């Protein structure tokens, strides 16, 4: 998020209020500091903790959306010390459910959901085809990036960008872009576990 801060903020300047990169960097930096000071929590508990930090520190629309996503995903993983691809799939699905319950966005509304939903589908498809979680996450990244690029011609129907109506067309959605980065981080972490 630190590396993408200016790019995300530029995207948000075109169709929002130029704060998405700053918001995300602030929240994720706070989460990293908090995690560095935290030991011995299982993955689910860590996600719940990061989700709370994001709700509190990111702000805007994205803070509650991503925060709820990670909290729900963390609750789904529970207090297990390890998780397999199926448990991760369920956590990812529950996380998207949290985003959609809170924000009521569907695919095509030019939001986070346009990167996340196809990423989830790709993750599940690869798992069902026999791939492990790391390979499935790589497929999810490709799908998230395709979904992110597909937001360019869309007209926003949710969030601040929707106020622009047809003038939101022709710009990549900031939230879909940060979602693609988050899936890339997930894939990178899983690669490191192999």
Q: Is 12 in the site for Mg ion (CB under 5 A)?
A: yes
Which residue shows structure tokens 């529950």? 94
Q: How far is the CB of 164 from ligand ATP (least distance, A)?
A: 12
CA distances from 152 to 14, 38, 91, 98, 176 (A): 12, 39, 28, 25, 10
Of 2, 6, 17, 129, the one binding Mg ion by CB under 5 A: 17
Q: Is 22 in the site for ligand ATP (CB under 6 A)?
A: no
Q: Which is nearer to Mg ion, 38 or 163 (CB)?
A: 163
Q: Which is nearer to ligand ATP, 109 or 124 (CB)?
A: 109
Q: How far is the CB of 192 from ligand ATP (least distance, A)?
A: 28
Q: Note whether 54 and 27 are within 8 A (CB).
A: yes
Q: Which is nearer to ligand ATP, 96 or 127 (CB)?
A: 96
**What does 106 bind: ligand ATP, Mg ion, none (CB cut-off 5 to 8 Å by kind)?**
none
Site size toward ligand ATP (CB under 6 A) is 24
First to last CA, the chain: 24
> Residues 55-84: x/- map of binding to ligand ATP (CB under 6 A)?
-----xxx--x-------------------
- Nearest-angstrom CA–CA distance, 126 and 87: 14
- Applying CB under 6 A, the span of 31-39, 45-53, 104-112, 131-139 interacting with ligand ATP comes to 104-112
Q: Tokens in use for 178?
A: 């940060």
Q: Is 1 in the site for ligand ATP (CB under 6 A)?
A: no
- Applying CB under 6 A, the span of 70-78, 121-129, 153-161, 181-189 interacting with ligand ATP comes to 153-161
CA distances from 18 to 110, 174, 175 (A): 17, 10, 12
One-character DSSP codes across 69-101: HHHHHHHHHTT-S---HHHHHHHHHHHHHHHHH
CA angle 22, 25, 27 (to 5 degrees): 105
Q: Note whether 70 and 97 are within 8 A (CB).
A: no
Binding site for ligand ATP (CB under 6 A): 12, 16-17, 19-20, 23, 60-62, 65, 99, 103-105, 111-113, 158-160, 173-176
């Amino acid at each position: 998020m630190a590396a993408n801060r200016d790019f995300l903020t530029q995207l948000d300047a075109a169709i929002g209020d130029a704060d998405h990169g700053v918001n995300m960097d602030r929240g994720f930096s706070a989460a990293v500091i908090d995690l560095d000071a935290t030991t011995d929590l299982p993955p689910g508990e860590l996600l719940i903790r990061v989700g709370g930090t994001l709700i509190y520190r990111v702000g805007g629309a994205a803070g509650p959306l991503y925060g709820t996503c990670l909290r729900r995903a963390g609750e789904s993983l529970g207090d297990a010390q390890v998780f397999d691809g199926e448990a991760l799939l369920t956590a990812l699905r529950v996380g998207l459910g949290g985003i959609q319950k809170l924000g009521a966005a569907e695919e095509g509304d030019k939001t986070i959901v346009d990167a996340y939903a196809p990423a989830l589908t790709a993750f599940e498809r690869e798992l069902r085809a026999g791939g492990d979680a790391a390979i499935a996450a790589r497929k999810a990244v490709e799908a998230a990036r395709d979904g992110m690029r597909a937001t360019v011609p869309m007209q926003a129907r949710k969030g601040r960008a929707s106020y622009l109506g047809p003038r939101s067309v022709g710009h990549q959605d900031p939230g879909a872009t940060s979602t693609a980065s988050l899936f890339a981080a997930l894939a990178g972490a899983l690669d490191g576990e192999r």
